[in-house]
Amino acid sequence: MTETTTPPRSEPLLTVDNLSTHFTIGAGRLRAVDGVSFSLQPGQTMGIVGESGCGKTVLSRTIMRLNLGNNIHTSGHVNFLGKDLLNLPMSEMTDIWGQEVAMVFQDPMTSLNPVVKIGRQVHEHVRKHLGASKTEATELAIELLKSVRIPEAETAIDAYPHELSGGMRQRVSIAIALACSPKLLFADEPTTALDVTVQHQILNLLGMQQQERSMAMVLVTHDLGVVAGRTDEILVMYAGKIVEQAKTAGIFHRTSHPYTEALLRSIPKTDQPSHTRLAAIAGRPPTLITTPKGCSFSPRCPYAQQRCFEEEPPLTESDQGHLTACWYQVGTAENREAWETNLASGRLATLAVAEGQIVDETAVKLTSGDS
């Protein structure tokens, strides 16, 4: 647990290359993840952001090979610690799970076994992976529970999950994930099921443990606010594809993709007066069975032009290390022009955004006039 500063350009810990996960279901093929590539350096944090159903959970589970079922087709490559994860025999996979790569699940109410004591859930895989004796493992479990700030860890190991609060349970899940000191941790919406105050504590705890252990982390969330100060890099996913990928600061300060912009717009702000309507993104995400020709965000995009409905934009580097898949990137002259055209022609998605902005501006004027 020494604090090592990772050299800036080392071998990546995880490389994902052109990864696709398709489900065959009655109506056809559901492209949950479609051609995703990225890499992660040791000790770094990657945020994966997107709406529900955009494929972010399937992506992390595919990388971990936790998709259960036989109607799944995966293609592409996942390289982790020099191993080709997708083609590894299951017997070797069980040695990697829990030991090299671990996962914290979304809902601590369901991800802990209700009929197994906390202690055993924390240390059973330690005994399997590290061959620890029962007493050693129990001591380790207590130590782990203490490190995730669970009060009275000595008695907590004999408790059942239902005897703990949601936040405490998520701490237990984190302790379980950290037990064998993995090199990579997937946190799949780790705070979605928790109260806002507890969310903050859990995220801080994750960040702290990550730094202490110099562990890499993939933080999956639908909330850009969650990843804001906690990640090195962010992937924005839409309809199973990466639409924007950049350093965290780049995503927030030089937003290039209209979808990312819309996500940022939809975060409620505290300086808005009460009863301001939330800025939602008009329309719904496409069903991934029949992805539209062209850009999959085009039906909901305020800037969409004819080209967007016909040709799919490739993921190109718009800035140093900043990748975006859009023909009319936010902040460009083409984008401004597309906006004016759509406003003039009365495109609904465009009008909705414009209306929101007008409401915003008048509201701000009203409040400043009052004070």
Choosing from 29, 128, 247, 307, the residue that interacts with other proteins (CB under 8 A) is: 128
C-beta of 172: minimal distance to other proteins in Å?
11
- Do residues 216 and 183 touch, judged by C-beta distance below 8 A? yes
For other proteins, the closer of residues 170 and 335 by Cβ is 170
User: Which of 354, 356, 349 is CA-nearest to residue 276?
Assistant: 356
Nearest approach in angstroms of CB 53 to other proteins is 18
- Show the tokens assigned to 48: 């994966």
Q: How far is the CB of 105 from other proteins (least distance, A)?
A: 6
As a whole number of angstroms, the distance between CA 300 and CA 212 comes to 42
Candidate ranges 28-36, 121-129, 287-295, 305-313; the one touching other proteins (CB under 8 A):
121-129
Q: How far is the CB of 125 from other proteins (least distance, A)?
A: 4
Sign of CA dihedral 138, 143, 148, 154: positive
Where in 78-107 is the site for other proteins (CB under 8 A)?
93-99, 102-103, 105, 107
The answer to whether residue 113 forms part of the interface with other proteins (CB under 8 A) is yes
Distances (CA, A) of 297 to 286, 288, 301, 317: 8, 12, 6, 19
Torsion over CA of 342, 343, 344 and 348, rounded to 10 degrees?
A: 80
Among 112, 262, 308, 353, binds other proteins (CB under 8 A): 112
- With contacts defined by CB under 8 A, name the span among 110-118, 198-206, 251-259, 346-354 that binds other proteins: 110-118
Instruction: Choose between 13 and 251: whose C-beta lies nearer to other proteins.
Output: 13
Give the strand pairing for 184-188 and 101-104.
parallel
Strand order in the sheet with 322-324: 101-104, 184-188, 216-221, 45-49, 233-238, 241-247, 322-324, 316-319
> Which of 216, 330 has the CB closer to other proteins?
216
> How many residues at the interface with other proteins, by CB under 8 A?
29
Query: What's the token pair of residue 267?
Result: 């975060």
Per CB under 8 A, does 256 bind other proteins? no
User: Considering the complex, what minimum distance in angstroms separates the CB of residue 115 from other proteins?
Assistant: 5
CB atoms within 10 A of CB 63: 26
User: Binding to other proteins by residue 72, rule CB under 8 A?
Assistant: no
- 288: enclosing H helix or E strand: none
Kindly provide the b/e burial profile for residues 77-89, where b requires at least 16 CB atoms within 10 angstroms of the residue's own CB. ebbbeeeebbebe
Rounded to 10 degrees, the C-alpha dihedral 130/134/140/142 comes to: 150
Q: Which stretch binds other proteins (CB under 8 A): 49-57, 72-80, 120-128, 348-356?
A: 120-128
114 binds other proteins (CB under 8 A): yes
| Contact set for other proteins, span 171-230 (CB under 8 A) | 173, 176
142 or 174, CB closer to other proteins? 174
- Size of the chain, expressed as the number of residues it contains: 371
Considering the complex, state which of residue 68 and residue 196 has its C-beta at the smaller distance from other proteins: 68
Under the binding rule (CB under 8 A), the answer on residue 136 touching other proteins is no
User: Closer to other proteins at the Cβ: 36 or 172?
Assistant: 172
Cβ-based burial of 238 (10 A; exposed 0-12, middle 13-18, buried ≥19): buried
125 binds other proteins (CB under 8 A): yes
Closest distance of CB 168 from other proteins, Å: 16
Surface-to-core class of residue 49, CB atoms within 10 Å of its CB (0-12 exposed, 13-18 middle, 19+ buried):
buried
Is residue 116 involved in binding other proteins (CB under 8 A)? yes
- Interface residues toward other proteins, by CB under 8 A: 64, 66, 68, 93-99, 102-103, 105, 107, 110-116, 124-125, 128-129, 160, 162, 173, 176
